[in-house]
Amino acid sequence: MVSDVIPSPNHGERRDGKAADMIILHYTGMTDTESALKRLCTAGTDVSAHYIVLEDGRVVQSVQESRRAWHAGQSIWSGDEDINSRSIGVEIVNRGHDWGYPDFPLRQIAAVIALCRGIIIRRNIPAHHVLGHSDVAPGRKKDPGEKFPWSALAASGVGVFVPPAPIVRGETLMLGTASDAVKAMQQQLASYGYGVPVNGSFDAKTMEVVTAFQRHFRPERIDGVADQSTLATLEAVIARKPKTAPEPLTPLPPPAIA
C-alpha cells in the first residue's frame, strides 16, 4: 500500500503502554499537497500522521505505527483524552472547508479503504473505533467532513454507517432544552464514545456533539438540533455497535514499515 516514506520528526512514545486500537481519519485542510506534506513532515510544526493519502491514491507513511503521531490534538473518546496514544492517524489530502472543500476522488477513497483494512487486520480494530477527527474533537474540528463517504467505507468493512433516517417534521431537542429525553440522548451518545455531558441539559457542548454526530452519520442537515431523524439514526448506530471482536477481513499485504 505504501508508495513512499517521508519520515516526520514529530512523534513520541505511546503513553502508559497503550496500543493503537483506533483509526482517526482527517483531511489535511491545506491548499495543496506540497504544503500539507511540508507541515506534517517538518520539525517544529508539532503535527504529524502515520499515513497521508494523496488525491491520486498514493500512500505516504511518515510515522511508524508503533510510535505516537501528533494528529488528534485535544480530543476525547470513551473518556480517554489521549487519543494520540491509542490511535493510527490517517491524513487525507483535501483542501477542506476553508478552501472550497472538494469531493474526495474515488481512487483516493479506494486507497483509504485498502489502507484501513490492513490496519484493522493487523491491530484487530473494532468498527466503531474508525472515526473522524470531528468525532473525537467536536466543536473544534470538522474533518473529514460531511462529503466523506463513510457509507462506502462501511460497505467494505471499514467503520460503522447506517442509512440515515428520513428528515421529517416532529418534536426536536435543541439548545436550551432540559428534559429526560435530552439525558437519554446524551447517554446514548456517551455509550457510543462521544465526549458529552450526561446532565439532561441541551447545552453548548451537547450541541457540538450532536453536530459532530450529524456530520458523520446524518450529513443531509448539520444544525446541531436533535430532530427525529437524528434521534432515529442514533438509535440505529447504537444498535450496530459491535458486541464482540470484529470479523476477520481478507488479509492485505503489509505496508513498507509498520
CA 222/CA 216 separation, integer angstroms? 10
Q: Are 186 and 199 in contact (CB under 8 A)?
A: yes
Spatial CA neighbour of 130 closest among 2, 249, 21, 15: 21
91 belongs to the catalytic site: yes
Q: Which among 65, 91, 146, 208 is annotated as catalytic?
A: 91
Q: What is the grid cell recorded at 220?
A: 443531509
Smallest CA-to-CA distance from 194 within 172, 175, 215 is with 215
Do 220 and 167 form a contact (C-beta atoms < 8 A)? yes
Q: Cα dihedral sign for 32, 75, 70, 111?
A: negative
Distances (CA, A) of 18 to 77, 181, 212: 14, 36, 26
Q: Distance between CA atoms of 12 and 19, rounded to whole angstroms?
A: 13
Catalytic residues: 91
